[in-house]
Amino acid sequence: MGIIKKIFNKSRSQEDGIFFEEMRKLLGFNPIELSHYRRAFTHRSSNKTDANGSPVNYERLEFLGDAMLGSVIAAHLFNEVPTGDEGYLTKMRSKIVSREHLNELGRDLNLIKWVESKVSTQHFGENIHGNLFEAFIGAIYLDRGFSYCEKFINKKVIAPYVDIPKLEGKVISYKSLVIEWCQKEKKQFHYDVFEDNGNEGVKYFGVRLKIDGKVIAKARATSKKKAEEKASQRAYFAFQEKINKK
């Protein structure tokens, strides 16, 4: 009865009432302490602090949510794939909680609409979506405990997205595959990175991937990491049969 009273008898402003209903729809169950969820959507640019002067934003919740997400996914894989060894389970978990996938989850839930920030959301990087998703998971844990956290992850992540046969064939990093193959075959490789601004008015980086002194692939993107990954993907498809050969 204590929890029910806390949910329904607590006086709320109209703004809190709207936020409560939106969180309830997202969660699939009633939130209790709305402050956890508000923190999950508070960007550090808001410069908020608590009574002790400690920063109030979603960054610490990200850490907590990441741990909760990893543990629930690990338990699911452990139970679903009894023949999988430690390396297999670790690789599969990495695919599920990859930054790319977390960003997809955050976008699908449109979490960015709730962000409180002094910076325009147009200036946020792509990873804001995944960061918010992890923080949201952390807020659920603080508000309702592990069982509700597990329930949410099962419903929003595992049921709609975790297809083990498909994940087995999913490539997280083409760069890692190419480097691993080069090292195995004792081939020399080098990523030649340079600024390539072009005429777009946006800073780009160009990459030339050389294997044994020969340029195998070129690519450009808005970051060195993305450019290297794109060049690696092109190199992977050029050598796919050799790389996949056992």
Domains belonging to the chain, first-starting first, are 12-168 (1.10.1520.10), 174-244 (3.30.160.20)
Torsion sign across C-alpha atoms 43, 49, 55, 58: negative
**Percent of residues, the chain, with pLDDT higher than 90:** 46
pLDDT at 8: 47
Q: What is the pLDDT of residues 29-88, one digit of tens each?
A: 999 999 999 999 999 988 998 888 888 999 999 999 999 999 999 999 999 999 888 988
pLDDT at 200: 58
Lateral strand order in the sheet of 189-195: 189-195, 205-211, 214-221
Report whether 131 belongs to an annotated binding site. Answer: yes
Q: Catalogue the active-site residues.
A: 66, 134
* pTM for this predicted structure: 0.69
The mean predicted confidence, pLDDT, of the chain is 87
From 108-117, 119-128, 208-217, the region with the lowest mean pLDDT: 119-128
CA gap 127, 102 in Å, rounded: 8
pLDDT at 180: 84
Picking from 10, 7, 5, 32, the residue whose alpha carbon sits closest to that of residue 144 is: 32
CA gap 233, 108 in Å, rounded: 26
pLDDT level of residue 170 (50, 70, 90 thresholds): confident
Kindly give, in sequence order, each residue whose CB lies less than 8 Å from that of residue 97, ignoring residues fewer than 6 positions away.
Answer: 66, 69, 70, 73
CA gap 40, 133 in Å, rounded: 9
Query: Quick one: 134 exposed, middle or buried, by C-beta within 10 A (0-12, 13-18, 19+)?
Result: buried
Report whether 30 belongs to an annotated binding site. Answer: no
